[in-house]
Amino acid sequence: MLGARQGLIERLSTVWASRELLLYLISSDIKIKYKNSALGMIWSMIAPAMQIGIYFLVFQIILKNGVPDYVIMLWSGMLVWHFFTNVVSNATSVVVQRAGIVKKVAFPREILALSIVGTSMVYFSIQFGVLALLMLLMGHAPAWHLLWLVPISFLGVVLIASALGIFFSAVNVYFRDTSHMVDVGINLWFWLTPIVYSYERTVSPMVHAHGLTWLYLLNPVTPVVLTFQRVLYGETTVIANTPDHSVLHVLPSWTTMTFVTVNAALISAGVILLLGAMSIFSRLQGNFAEEL
């Protein structure tokens, strides 16, 4: 039987040994979600597409930000955000939702949260493919020489999201308000992340003037969003789609080494947080059956 006093190394070994169960949970979650659905996995695109459409309408058409091919920059950031929020929100309540098997079957409970990470990665891949097709149809090329930064940066957000998902999934067993607090916090978090607005035009002048750039970058989603936008949008300075054709600085003109350093720091922090979350989860999961 899996005990709460397992060491971290032993816990990691147990999770790895249960990888077939993890893959089963991922595939079954996807099959169950779209069972008897006419559109199937296309539904995983509808809600994100509608959200992107609304923000595009507001910022490009109504407020006229003038950024050419703005939908590419917006979608690049939303890709990251949708993955992150899907993992954190859904993983928070997964242990409570799966109370039946938690109380009856012995297995590393972290796998429940990690299965959410897996399913979210599947949806991320689909949405990324649609973005690639859109870019092809629009004739918008990414920064090919920086494309290798995308999987590195994505690893960072996977680690951070996994850590938060595992941690909140354990806490939510004892404090059921956690899931509601997470949903509220995520709504605020969205507007603290440069997705619908330009980091270089809106945020950078304010935080840089007060020497607070480092503080803004403590938001772990921000470096990933900026990396995806820099690589997939491909430009840092553009000519505005406005009558005056002004020059717009939309993304930070960081060097490649700066992007590598920022993302390496994020990955390092993600590993530490994930190990910490698993350690806390191991301590808390001993009384899951009683609480559920």
Q: Which residues contact 270 (CB under 8 A, 6 or more apart)?
A: 155, 156, 157, 158, 159, 160, 162, 163, 220
Q: DSSP alpha helices (H): ranges in 192-251?
A: 204-209, 213-216, 221-233
Q: Contact, 288 vs 243, CB < 8 A?
A: no
Q: Residue 213: left (phi > 0), alpha (psi -120 to 50), or beta?
A: alpha
- Alpha-carbon distance of 140 to 242, in angstroms, equals 19
Give burial (CB, 10 Å; 0-12/13-18/19+) of 5: exposed
**What tens-digit pLDDT sequence spans the chain (292 residues)?**
444 456 777 777 888 888 888 888 888 888 777 666 656 667 667 777 787 888 878 877 887 777 888 889 999 999 999 999 999 999 999 999 888 888 877 778 889 999 999 999 998 998 898 889 888 988 899 999 999 999 999 999 999 999 999 999 999 999 989 999 999 999 999 998 999 888 887 777 777 666 677 777 889 999 999 999 999 999 888 887 777 778 888 898 899 999 999 999 999 999 999 999 999 998 888 778 777 6
Q: Give the pLDDT score at 1.
A: 43
| Tens digits of residue pLDDT in 90-118 | 999 999 988 888 887 777 888 999 999 99
